[in-house]
Amino acid sequence: MEDMVAETWLVLKARAKQRVDLIAIGYKNCKNKSLHFIMMEGCGSTEPGQPYIAKFQNLDGKLVKKHIACPKVLVQFFGVVNAIDFQNHIQQGTMWLKKRWQTEDCWFQLFTMIVGIILTDCWLSYKHAIKLVEKRSKRCHKHHDISLQEVTKWMVVTLIINPYNKITEPEFIELTLLTEDIHYSILNI
């Protein structure tokens, strides 16, 4: 593909031994870079789709957007592939656990990574739930702009206090409301 011009792609079809039809796409999105994808037949169309919008800084440091021709299946792929990068960025950039808990112990590093993943997942899940509540109630939730650090404080306080041990369901509902007030009070200290 090195002799091909940018914004072109090749599509190859093959049948694996297990009688599964596979599609291989070689895609050249710029003059010196090509990407390669393998998928099962039926996962998406290789016809031209909406142009992929590449964002980069020019020599003057200004943000430039360029529309790049791309097959439909890759437009779908590029539309969701950054979700993992987004979560990693939050986990590493905002939490900074590796910098705060410096160690060369690989097991402790694995532990901090798992803690970061759990906290980030909880925060994103909570923000998603808030959006659903706001959509249903048509008003802004009091935790609309809650930060990852605030959710982390909630979880730490809940783990320290552990108010959910050995209680019945009616008590659980009352305690949940009380705990939310406690969390809110601690966050505003």
Q: pLDDT digit string (tens) for 28-79?
A: 877 778 888 998 888 888 898 888 777 777 888 888 888 888 889 988 888 7
pLDDT of residue 8: 84
Joined tokens for residue 32: 């010196």
Could you state, in order of their start, the residue ranges of all structural domains in the chain?
8-77, 88-187
pLDDT 10s digits, 80-134:
877 777 777 777 665 566 666 677 788 887 887 788 888 888 888 888 888 888 8
CA atoms of 138 and 155, how far apart (whole Å): 28
CA atoms of 138 and 166, how far apart (whole Å): 36
Joined tokens for residue 52: 């992929």
Q: Is the pLDDT of residue 170 over 60?
A: no
Cβ–Cβ < 8 Å for 95, 116: yes
The pLDDT confidence band at residue 188, using thresholds 50, 70 and 90, is: very low
Is the pTM above the cut of 0.85?
Answer: no
pLDDT of residue 184: 43
